[in-house]
A and B are shown apart, each in its own frame.
Chain A
Amino acid sequence: MADSPAAAAMIEVTGLAKTFKTKRGTVEAVRGLDLTVRAGEIVGFLGPNGAGKTTTLRMLTTLLEPSGGTAVVAGADLLREPTEVRKRIGYVAQTGGTDGACTVAEELITQAELYRLGAAEARQRCAALVEQLDLTGLEDRYVKTLSGGQKRRLDIALGLVHAPRLVFLDEPTTGLDPQSRAHLWTHVRKLRDELNTTVFLTTHYLDEADALCDRILIIDFGRIVAEGTPEELKHRISGDLVTIELAGEGDGEKAQSALGDVEGVRDATLSGKTLRVVVDAGGQQLMGIMRALDSAVVPIASIQLARPTLDDVFLTLTGRSLRDDSPGSGAPPQPGDAGGSPDDAGNPADSAAHDDASAPSDATGSPR
């Protein structure tokens, strides 16, 4: 970002590209990607399958050599000093990376030694991480006997064993039950809040990006198509939605014309007695809407303000839903604290904010 000094940038990517040669010709998986991640941020990297998400992540973690562009990751040049990058970053792959026949402590200590920590230091880090990620008492258990949530926490502990300043999490909560997800979110937030770790995560769950990320990058066809805070993105793409239930049958058109003059109202569509009004910022325009309706003498039965979800944003930007192929799972409950996404609470109607978002949704983040 232009307003941050270069020294505070944890990832600085310019023109990153990757082309694969296949039998049917070359495939441009990533085409000239530019992105910046500041130190101490949790950044969500979103995109439909095949958008270039994983390819980008694999390039940034030194697993795949870029075809073009430059990148500085954690202060080291990705192309010239990959070993230095490896020393400074942590990476947690989607599939994890543990051997079922090893114990939790063995894996943690081996991993610490892979990062060239001494034996005593490795044991110390193992003990610290077991506590940090709630794995206490599981040290001598074989990895294959762990539950899904425990195994995922171990995967993350392995990525943190050398206390990196930057950690990449590839779909950290995919396949976890709602409780484990919420639990994991808490751990990720703690990384930022207590250790000032920068987190770069990909996710398939928009509610996760919404709840967890300070900033979101949306990639499609190998390019960044949008970026901003969850709030900015939702605001920019969709506005807020005010749903007004009119008291009388014949007032619809009168109400529509009255609202046309209200500042900040973008669009008002009528279906039956229900008026859907898209506004720039619902909190500010609500009074204006009510005054306009009042002076036009349109009685109303109810008025409700909802904010768009990232699902809506994503659909608008890419024309695709994020989770075409993910296993259906209900929306997870919000973690107990309020630090997540206050706007998620109490907007059961928000996925209906757009006509194209046809599937009814009982909460944010349900599969379409």
Chain B
Amino acid sequence: MSLASTLRDTRLIFRRQLRLSLRNPAWLIIGVIQPILYLALFGPLVKHFVSAPGASSDQAWRIFVPGLLVQLGLFGSLFVGFAIIAEWRAGVIERMRVTPVSRFALLFGRVLRDMIALLVQSAILVLTGLLMGLRAPIGGVLFALAFIAVLAISMSSLSYAVGLALKSEDSLAPLLNSVAVPVLLLSGILLPITRQSAPSWLYYLSRINPFRYVVDAMREVFVGNYADLTVLWGSLISLVLAIVCIMLGVRRFQIESA
């Protein structure tokens, strides 16, 4: 399998999936509205809790918006597995697996579509945040969006792998909910989990959650600290997570059976 044909196949699958998404954009719109609701209805409360007395209110936004971005990335991407079950049931996956198309492309064409959708949603979220008082360096915002892109690749690959393995919405929904909610809370998305704010058991539990490092790294880049150990760890963990999830996903497209 040459690189050129893999790229060509990936573009082909990406184009098809994007066309289908644009034809039925309801989910894209819901995906944008939800974080804006968080920002509008929850954000004003957060600044009183997060900010130390006397600190500027835009510091609260710099803590809250990266958290929301990760939440969007997690939930927006983890649930793409439902779509793959529908495609599998219609026979589309099998039809494509009988062709010589690259298995990597079958996964990654879809993942790229999810990534683009998520980046658009994230950009809208950040712009809304700016309107509401967020102040962040442009470089930091772009760095954060790169984190989100990698996170989207990981989570949607994982979701496709799990969806194709389970082949049942009834099994996928409880699994995703029971995993995603604790992971989300333990990453300090809404309120940072620090040594000072959290009991030690909660703090150490959050340290074993990879997403926590991503959230921490994004908060650092939002205040302009790029050359930071937190950012390095966050980047490494994001990349390793993406590679593992892609491998799991590609493997699923190779062996998917019955």
Interface contact A93-B12, CB-CB below 8 Å: no
Instruction: Tell me which residues across on chain A come within 8 A of B5, comparing CB atoms.
Output: 116
Cα distance A64–B98 in the bound complex, in angstroms: 10
Size band of the interface chain A makes with B: 20 to 34
Tell which of B16-24, B56-64, B242-250 binds the partner: B16-24
List residues 1-52 of chain B with CB under 8 A from any CB of chain A.
Answer: 1, 5, 8-9, 12, 16, 19-20, 23-24
B98 and A115 contact, CB distance less than 8 A:
no
- Please choose the segment from A106-114, A200-208, A221-229, A240-248 that sits at the chain B interface, where 4 or more of its residues have CB less than 8 A away: A106-114
Given the contacts A110-B12, A113-B12, A114-B12, A102 and B20 also touching, CB distance less than 8 Å = yes
Binary contact track A38-80/B, C-beta < 8 Å → 1, others 0: 0000000000000000000010011111000000000000000
Indicate which residue in B9, B95, B257 contacts A93 across the interface (CB closer than 8 Å).
Answer: B95
Q: Is the CB of B257 within 8 A of A58?
A: yes
Chain B positions within 8 Å of A102 at CB level: 16, 19-20
Choice from A58, A63, A91, A95 contacting B90 with Cβ under 8 Å: A95
Interface size class of B (residues with CB under 8 A): 20 to 34
Q: Are A99 and B20 in contact (CB under 8 A)?
A: yes
Q: Which residues of B contact A65 (CB under 8 A)?
A: 255
A residues near B96, Cβ cutoff 8 Å: 97, 114
Interface of B is mostly: helix
* Interface: A274 (CB within 8 A): no
Contact A93 B94, beta carbon cutoff 8 Å = yes
**Cβ contact within 8 Å between B100 and A97:** no
Q: Given A64-B257, A93-B95, A102-B20, are A115 and B100 neighbors across the interface (CB < 8 Å)?
A: yes
Pairwise interchain contact A63-B98, C-beta atoms closer than 8 A? yes
Known: A58-B257, A101-B20, A116-B5. A95 touches B98 (CB 8 A): no
> Contact: A97 with B99, CB < 8 Å?
no
**A100 vs B20: C-alpha distance when bound (angstroms):** 10
Does B91 sit at the interface, judged by CB under 8 A?
yes
What is the chain A residue whose CB lies nearest that of B86?
Answer: A99
- B97 interface residue (CB < 8 Å to A): yes
- When distances are taken between beta carbons in the complex, the residues of chain A under 8 Å from B98 are 61-63, 86, 89, 91
By beta carbon, the residue of chain B nearest A62 is: B98
Q: Complex formed: what's the CA distance from A66 to B89 in Å?
A: 23
Decide if B94 touches A114 in the complex (CB within 8 Å). no
B1 touches A83 (CB 8 A): yes
Interchain nearest-CB distance for A314 vs B (Å): 26
A96 touches B101 (CB 8 A): no
Do most interface residues of chain A lie in helix, strand or loop, or is the interface mixed?
loop
Residue from B19, B94, B100 having most chain A Cβ neighbours under 10 A: B100
Q: Contact check, B24 vs A86: say whether CB atoms are below 8 A apart.
A: no
B5, B91, B255: most-surrounded residue (chain A CB, <10 A)? B91
A residues less than 8 Å from B16 (CB atoms):
102, 106, 110
Q: How far is the CB of B31 from chain A (nearest CB, A)?
A: 18
- Give every chain B residue within 8 A of A89 (Cβ-Cβ): 98
- Which of A64, A100, A114, A158 touches B101 (beta carbons < 8 Å)? A114
Q: Are A97 and B90 in contact (CB under 8 A)?
A: yes
- Least CB distance from A112 to B in Å reads 10
Closest to A61 in B: B98
Q: A110-B16, A111-B99, A114-B101 are contacts. A101–B23 as well, Cβ < 8 Å?
A: yes
A83–B89 Cα gap in the complex (Å)? 24
Report Cα–Cα, A91/B98, bound state, in Å.
Answer: 7
A190 within 8 A of B: no
Instruction: Assess whether A236 is interfacial by the CB under 8 Å rule.
Output: no
Q: Roughly how many angstroms separate A113 CA and B102 CA in the complex, as a whole number?
A: 12
Task: Tell whether B87 is near chain A: CB-to-CB under 8 Å.
Answer: yes
Q: Is B166 part of the contact surface with A, judged by Cβ < 8 Å?
A: no
B232 within 8 A of A: no
By the criterion CB–CB under 8 Å, are B99 and A86 in contact? yes
Contact A99 B257, beta carbon cutoff 8 Å: no
Contact with A along B92-125 (1 / 0, CB 8 A): 1011111111000000000000000000000000
A227 to B90, CA, bound (A): 33
The CA of A100 and the CA of B92, in the complex, are separated in Å by 10
Which residues 63-98 in B have Cβ within 8 Å of A in the complex? 87, 89-92, 94-98
- Kindly state the separation between the CA atoms of A63 and B96 in the bound complex, as whole angstroms: 10
Smallest CB separation, B88 vs chain A (Å): 10
22 A-B contact pairs sorted by A residue (CB < 8 Å): A62-B97, A63-B94, A83-B1, A86-B99, A91-B98, A95-B90, A96-B90, A96-B95, A97-B91, A97-B92, A97-B95, A97-B96, A99-B90, A100-B90, A101-B24, A114-B9, A114-B96, A114-B99, A114-B101, A115-B100, A116-B5, A116-B100
Q: 7 other contacts beyond A97-B91, A111-B99, A114-B96, with CB at 8 A cut-off?
A: A58-B257, A61-B98, A62-B97, A95-B90, A97-B96, A114-B9, A114-B101
A residues contacting B by CB (< 8 A) are: 58, 61-65, 83, 86-87, 89, 91, 93, 95-102, 106, 110-111, 113-116, 158
